[in-house]
Amino acid sequence: MARPDAFEIVLSRAFTRIVGRGTPPQLAAALRHAVFPGGARVRPRLLLAVAQAAGARDLSAARHGGVAVELVHCASLVHDDMPCFDNAPIRRGRAAVHAKFGEATAVLVGDGLIVGAFDVLARACIDDPRLLPALPVLAQASGAAGGLVAGQAWEAEPSPDVARYHRAKTGGLFEAATVIGAIAAGVEPEPWRAVGAAFGEAYQIADDLLDLVGTPTELGKPVGQDIVHARPSAAIELGLERAWARLDDVLQRMRGAIPPCADADALHRWLDEACARLFPARRLQPCTGDALTRDDATATALSM
């Protein structure tokens, strides 16, 4: 196992305060199950890459911003897997929180992680008040008016607004990651929003594609769920060929959206690596087997 890096250390420490001596033991175990071991931590890593590219000298504020974003993401996965939503028994290749700890605990784990996210970010703001604008950015990306909560709710609406649904369900937290990264670096944040929006759009298209052509082992969760739950899917709407082309377009738009900054080259290198890892090679046949090949493994992070 690799040694934990600086981000994982900050996440661990923050988690230890969120889950303190006053936490009931079953709840504490369930909270830990929801956060560790994590997936690829894509959102905080994007946030940190933006903060570095934008010239942040000290990454402490960015790391705490990243922890907050990751905790909100983990909360959304826990609630989304519940029987009243996707009823998914498996997440990250292990039992989902509700399957292992029960529905009541799953509700509370999500609640506790949302509260914990704002707690971490608020404490970071007390240390460095320049981070304060990150709080409403995180709230916007998480909440009922166009954030993650809205995204999950669109799935249950009789007439979902598909563009709003995708932006809320996936794009919002990636946008928040780039905006908060810029805030942590002390630069004008809004120009960075388009980078996160495009990254999120690409991520959503890749997720839709892998739901059709991926395997459960790759994804750490069941495939074919978009059809089962009648969820809007770019891969189903456009067909595989055009969806792959759309993914390429969006990734190109993302690169073009990077504003002038202290170290754009480093960000492009980070994106090269992240894209190679997250966005799988073009595959035009649904994959029905479940063998874990070496190449397939690189896509595992997508579900995480």
Closest to its own copies by CB, 112 vs 196, is 112
Beta carbon nearer to its own copies, 176 or 254: 176
Report the chain's terminal Cα–Cα distance, integer Å. Answer: 18
CA contacts within 13 A on the Cβ side of 256:
6
Q: Given the structure tokens 């890749």, which residue do they identify? A: 206
Residues pairing with 95 in the sheet: 90
> Stretches 38-46, 52-60, 160-168, 294-302: which one binds its own copies (CB under 8 A)?
160-168
Binding of its own copies by 174 (CB under 8 A): no
Alpha helices in the chain (DSSP H): 6-18, 25-35, 42-53, 60-80, 97-101, 103-127, 134-142, 148-154, 162-166, 172-185, 193-213, 216-219, 225-228, 234-238, 240-257, 264-278, 294-297
User: Judged by CB under 8 A, does residue 294 bind its own copies?
Assistant: no
25 binds its own copies (CB under 8 A): yes
Q: Which member of 38, 44, 66, 147 binds its own copies (CB under 8 A)?
A: 147
Q: 5, 9, 36, 157: which one contacts its own copies (CB under 8 A)? A: 157
131/258 with CB nearer its own copies = 131
3-state secondary structure of 99: helix
Sign, CA torsion 8/107/205/139:
negative
Shortest reach from residue 33's CB to its own copies, in Å: 13
Binding to its own copies (CB under 8 A) within 235-254 occurs at none
Rounded to whole angstroms, what are the CA distances from 72 to 5, 115, 130, 293?
21, 9, 21, 31
Cβ nearer to its own copies, comparing 100 with 164: 164
Stretch 27-46: interaction string toward its own copies, x if CB under 8 A = xx--x---------------
Site string for its own copies, 113-142 (x = CB under 8 A): -xxx-xx--xx-xx--x--xx-xx--xx-x
- Those residues with Cβ within 8 angstroms of residue 223's Cβ, 6 or more apart along the chain or in another chain: 210, 211, 212, 214, 215, 216
- Binding region for its own copies (CB under 8 A): 17-28, 31, 75, 79, 82, 84-85, 102-105, 107-108, 110-112, 114-116, 118-119, 122-123, 125-126, 129, 132-133, 135-136, 139-140, 142-147, 149-150, 152-154, 156-158, 160-161, 164, 168
